[in-house]
Amino acid sequence: MPENIIERAFQLARSGQCRSMADIHQQLRREGFIQIQEHLSGRLIKSQLTRLINDAAPQRLSGS
């Protein structure tokens, strides 16, 4: 498991497992990360993660 919460959030966003920022937050909590909101509340990071989530959607739908 990556020790960096930001790195892990980006991995989750790219993975196609998460459909929203809420899904990323929930998964990070399950993995034991803390202070998630503090790390992921910036406008730029939310925008970047949302873009990656959306880019991963076709992979999620096709099962790739």
The pTM for the full model equals 0.85
Task: Look at the block and give the residue holding tokens 């990360």.
Answer: 33
pLDDT tens per residue, range 6-58: 999 999 999 999 999 999 999 999 999 999 999 999 999 999 999 999 999 87
Residue 62 is predicted with a pLDDT of 60
Cα dihedral sign for 19, 38, 31, 5?
positive
Element (H, E) at 21: helix 21-30
Total count of domains within the chain: 1
> What band does 61 get if pLDDT is binned at 50, 70 and 90?
low
Distance CA 24, CA 21 (A): 5
Radius of gyration of the chain (CA): 11
Contact 21, 40 (CB under 8 A): yes
- Domain of 26? 5-62
